[in-house]
């Protein structure tokens, strides 16, 4: 079992990464035996996983709230449902919420925990790869509103994150690949060890070999937790976690957030950002090939030919990272370190996209 710490001071928390089991002792120590527990999940999480979680909890005061699966549930309506449940159960600050599911469940449960009674404890037990390597760590919580995705939320750290690779065996292939997109991101923004591990073990990763999964999740979280602990509220370095995301978000928006997963979109975004890094002279053609081969080795799509500059332009320009009218992009250099820059030739963006 690996344990990684994130956060600072009072909002410090541990992330435990396990194979097939959950760390029962730690979970129960955290839950205590007198508190109330509310598990928030969604109906796409296999019942067997929920059973397994319940069987690991000694405290029998367990309540479960099941949302419909899918991004539509990350809504004001579901937020109110969770709050109503907490009021109905007369939750106080000693009681604990558990987010058990993917990033959708994690984000809305975290936001509910952040705001109910101005903050109660919550535990993240992420069950998708994307949630395990990304959304469960870093304390960003949110819901979607009609004005846009993730526009209402809070920075609010969980008190514990428990990861078991076992949950990943039931994930749909496209959801698994979506998470792999974020794993590749950490390899390309500075985690050289992870990059080597992927290069050597791509076949085993595709097969979801649990011992290799544990290693790539651990390396991904090491990179994420280091960055988010340095920059909890996204004033600086945290921006490099958005490598591939400006183009990826444009692709998602162009598709009305349908028919393409977040990971698949940002994977294409990373290819485009790497091409731009090449045209800007930060990497050479071998390094560009290296990026594309790394992504292909995991059987992720790198073909962005359906997304021309003319199709994506308007989304790129409204990207929220535009500051003072300047578009900030995350590029990579020849040592595979990421950096933020607003200094690039616009013509190279259209070149990268064509
Ligand atoms: N807070 C952050 O820092 C952060 C970072 C990245 C993404 N996000 C958010 O995360 C969300 C996306 O997360 P996601 O990709 O996990 O999607 P998701 O939560 O919608 O889960 C995808 C699907 O997988 C199902 N599922 C969950 N666990 C499963 C399992 N073990 N086996 C089989 N099916 C399972 C779910 O029911 C759902 O249908 C978005 O809302 C995004 O905004 C947040
Ligand atoms: Zn992402």
Note the pLDDT tens digit of each residue in 285-311.
999 999 999 999 999 999 999 999 999
The radius of gyration computed from the CA coordinates of the chain, to the nearest angstrom, equals 20
Contact by Cβ (8 Å): 4, 218 = yes
| The predicted structure's pLDDT at residue 318 | 78
21: left (phi over 0), alpha (psi -120 to 50) or beta: beta
| The predicted structure's pLDDT at residue 44 | 98
CA distance 66 to 43: 6
Q: How far is the CA of 107 from the centre of ligand 1 (A)?
A: 9
Of residues 164, 167, 206, the one with CA closest to residue 183: 206
Question: Which residue CA neighbors atom 25 of ligand 1 most closely?
Answer: 44
30-40 burial code (b ≥16 CB/10 A, e <16)? bbeeeebbbbb
Alpha carbon 141 to its chain centroid, in Å, reads: 11
Residue ranges lining ligand 1, Cβ < 6 Å: 42, 44-46, 49, 69-71, 74, 101-105, 107, 127-128, 130-131, 134-135, 138, 140, 150, 167, 170-171, 175, 178, 262
| The predicted structure's pLDDT at residue 235 | 86
Contact by Cβ (8 Å): 186, 150 = no
Please give the C-alpha separations between residue 203 and each of 74, 197, 198, 206, in angstroms, as whole numbers. Answer: 34, 11, 9, 5
| The predicted structure's pLDDT at residue 20 | 87
Atom of ligand 1 nearest to the CA of 70: 20
| The predicted structure's pLDDT at residue 216 | 98
Of residues 77, 173, 167, the one with CA closest to residue 131: 167
CA distance 195 to 189: 10
Atom of ligand 1 nearest to the CA of 105: 19
| The predicted structure's pLDDT at residue 321 | 56
Contact by Cβ (8 Å): 300, 248 = no
| The predicted structure's pLDDT at residue 342 | 92
| The predicted structure's pLDDT at residue 16 | 98
Query: Residues near 45 by Cβ (< 8 Å), separated by ≥ 6?
Result: 69, 100, 101, 102, 105, 127
3-class state of residue 6 by DSSP: strand
Tell me, yes or no, if 262 is annotated catalytic. Answer: yes
The dihedral sign for the CA sequence 296, 299, 302, 303: positive
The dihedral sign for the CA sequence 3, 17, 244, 108: negative
Contact by Cβ (8 Å): 219, 194 = yes
Question: Which residue CA neighbors atom 7 of ligand 1 most closely?
Answer: 135
Tens digit of each residue's pLDDT, the chain (354 residues): 899 999 999 999 999 999 988 999 999 999 999 899 999 999 999 999 999 999 999 999 999 999 999 999 999 999 999 999 999 999 999 999 999 999 999 999 999 999 999 999 999 999 999 999 999 999 999 999 999 899 999 999 999 999 999 999 999 999 999 999 999 999 999 999 999 999 999 999 999 999 999 999 999 999 999 999 999 888 889 999 999 999 999 999 999 999 999 999 999 999 999 999 999 999 999 999 999 999 999 999 999 999 999 999 999 987 655 667 789 999 999 999 999 999 999 999 999 998
Q: How far is the CA of 102 from the centre of ligand 1 (A)?
A: 3
Strands (E), 217-305: none
Least distant ligand from the CA of 131: 1
What pTM does this model have?
0.97
3-class state of residue 323 by DSSP: strand
Q: How many CB atoms lie within 10 A of CB 225?
A: 19
Can you list the domains of the chain with their CATH numbers?
Answer: 2-170 (3.40.50.1970), 175-352 (1.20.1090.10)
Of residues 221, 217, 40, the one with CA closest to residue 123: 40
| The predicted structure's pLDDT at residue 132 | 98
CA distance 16 to 161: 6
């Amino acid at each position: 079992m690996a344990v990684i710490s994130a956060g600072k001071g009072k909002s410090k928390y541990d992330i435990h990464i396990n194979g097939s089991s959950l760390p029962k002792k730690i979970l129960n120590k955290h839950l205590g035996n007198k508190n109330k527990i509310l598990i928030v999940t969604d109906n796409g999480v296999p019942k067997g996983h929920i059973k397994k979680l319940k069987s690991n909890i000694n405290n029998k005061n367990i309540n479960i709230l099941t949302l419909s699966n899918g991004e539509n549930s990350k809504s004001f309506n579901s937020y109110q449902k969770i709050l109503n449940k907490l009021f109905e159960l007369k939750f106080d600050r000693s009681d604990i919420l558990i987010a058990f599911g993917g990033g959708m469940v994690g984000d809305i449960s975290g936001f509910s925990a952040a705001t109910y009674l101005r903050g109660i404890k919550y535990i993240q037990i992420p069950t998708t790869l994307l949630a395990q390597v990304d959304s469960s760590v870093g304390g960003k919580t949110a819901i979607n509103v009609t004005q846009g995705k993730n526009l209402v939320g809070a920075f609010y750290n969980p008190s514990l994150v428990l990861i078991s690779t076992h949950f990943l065996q039931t994930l749909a292939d496209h959801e698994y690949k979506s998470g792999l997109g974020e794993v590749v991101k950490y390899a390309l923004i500075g985690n050289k060890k992870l990059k080597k591990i992927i290069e050597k073990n791509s076949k085993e990763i595709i097969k979801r070999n649990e011992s290799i999964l544990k290693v790539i999740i651990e390396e991904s979280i090491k990179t994420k937790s280091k960055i988010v602990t340095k920059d909890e509220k996204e004033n600086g370095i945290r921006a490099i976690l958005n490598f591939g995301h400006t183009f990826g978000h444009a692709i998602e928006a162009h598709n009305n957030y349908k028919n393409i997963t977040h990971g698949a979109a940002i994977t294409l975004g990373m290819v485009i950002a790497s091409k731009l890094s090449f045209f800007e002279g930060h990497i050479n053609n071998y390094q560009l090939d290296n990026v594309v081969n790394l992504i292909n080795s995991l059987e992720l799509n790198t073909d962005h030919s359906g997304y021309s500059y003319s199709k994506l332009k308007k989304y790129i320009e409204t990207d929220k990272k535009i500051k003072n009218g300047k578009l900030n992009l995350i590029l990579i250099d020849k040592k595979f370190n990421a950096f933020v820059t607003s200094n690039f030739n616009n013509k190279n963006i259209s070149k990268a996209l064509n």
